[in-house]
């Protein structure tokens, strides 16, 4: 598959994923808003919550990465700067995805 | 044309100020702006989970932020941006299947998106206020 077609498709699939996951997270966070550290840990340790939040980080960082790439391609005319920005955002979003999932795992296993 | 060439020879987006503002064009650019703004929200979410993993002392930073007035305003702005981006995103998904592309229908769905996102944010806001008070 050509990479532009792949880009287009993944953008849509992740959008559908986010539709469910972002809504769930927004509602959940609203419920635990202002809770203490212990209560928040307890909330995250429910398997449903830890799985859904990990999925949320995967789909939304994917969606963010692809979306920002299009914005950069549209508004940054200098090719070299454009490429560097895209590489930077790609790397950053993967690093943050991994960091978030490691954080969830750490809490589930050690807290 | 290879992917590399398409990336480099792609036309830039038109200058927005040249066009007369219409609901369709305003919503289109708002979709992008809300998307970029939500990227910051996602970044914050990943720091929320990192602070939680780092322990009680670090998580205190999050509690400080999320219960402060400024923090609550920012969180509410993200709720608004999210509901707008979500409703308008659904509109985009329908367009991808060729549904609702005519000018009349896309204007109407645009108006619906505006109302739906405002109403959703208000409901969120009320519930949030009730939880705080």
Q: What is the pLDDT of residues B53-81, one digit of tens each?
A: 999 999 999 999 988 999 989 999 999 99
CB contact (8 A) between residue A68 and residue B36: yes
Q: Indicate the CATH number for domain B26-132.
A: 1.20.1300.10
Q: What is the pLDDT of residues A49-69, one digit of tens each?
A: 999 999 999 999 999 999 999
What is the pLDDT tens value at each position of chain B, 133 positions in all? 455 555 566 676 667 677 788 899 899 999 999 999 999 999 999 999 999 999 999 999 999 998 899 998 999 999 999 999 999 999 999 999 999 999 999 999 999 999 999 999 999 888 878 776 6
Pairs from B37-43 (Cβ < 8 Å, separation ≥ 24): B37/B77, B37/B78, B37/B81, B38/A64, B38/B78, B38/B81, B38/B82, B38/B85, B39/A64, B39/A67, B39/A68, B41/B78, B41/B81, B41/B82, B42/A60, B42/A61, B42/A64, B43/A96
ipTM of the complex as predicted:
0.94
Is the CB of residue A47 less than 8 Å away from at least one CB of chain B? Answer: no
Chain A residues whose beta carbon lies within 8 Å of the beta carbon of residue B80? none
CB contact (8 A) between residue B39 and residue A67: yes
pTM recorded for the entire structure: 0.90
Domain boundaries, chain B: 26-132
For domain A3-110, the CATH class is mainly alpha
């Amino acid at each position: 598959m050509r990479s532009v077609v792949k880009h287009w498709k993944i953008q849509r699939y992740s959008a559908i994923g986010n539709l469910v996951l972002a809504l769930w997270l927004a509602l959940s966070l609203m419920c635990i808003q202002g809770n203490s550290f212990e209560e928040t840990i307890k909330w995250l340790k429910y398997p449903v919550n830890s799985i859904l939040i990990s999925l949320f980080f995967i789909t939304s960082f994917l969606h963010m990465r692809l979306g920002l790439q299009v914005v950069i391609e549209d508004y940054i005319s200098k090719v070299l700067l454009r490429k560097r920005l895209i590489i930077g955002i790609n790397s950053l979003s993967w690093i943050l995805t991994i960091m978030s999932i490691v954080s969830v795992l750490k809490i589930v296993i050690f807290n | 044309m290879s992917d590399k060439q398409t990336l480099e020879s792609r036309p830039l987006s038109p200058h927005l100020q040249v066009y007369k503002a219409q609901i369709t064009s305003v919503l289109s650019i708002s979709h992008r702006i809300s998307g970029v703004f939500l990227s910051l929200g996602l970044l914050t979410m990943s720091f929320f989970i990192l602070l939680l993993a780092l322990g009680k002392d670090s998580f205190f930073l999050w509690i400080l932020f999320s219960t402060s007035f400024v923090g609550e305003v920012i969180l509410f702005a993200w709720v608004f941006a999210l509901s707008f981006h979500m409703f308008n995103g659904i509109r985009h998904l329908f367009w991808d299947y060729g549904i609702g592309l005519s000018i009349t229908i896309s204007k109407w769905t645009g108006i619906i998106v505006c109302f739906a996102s405002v109403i959703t944010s208000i409901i969120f806001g009320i519930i949030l206020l009730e939880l705080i008070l």
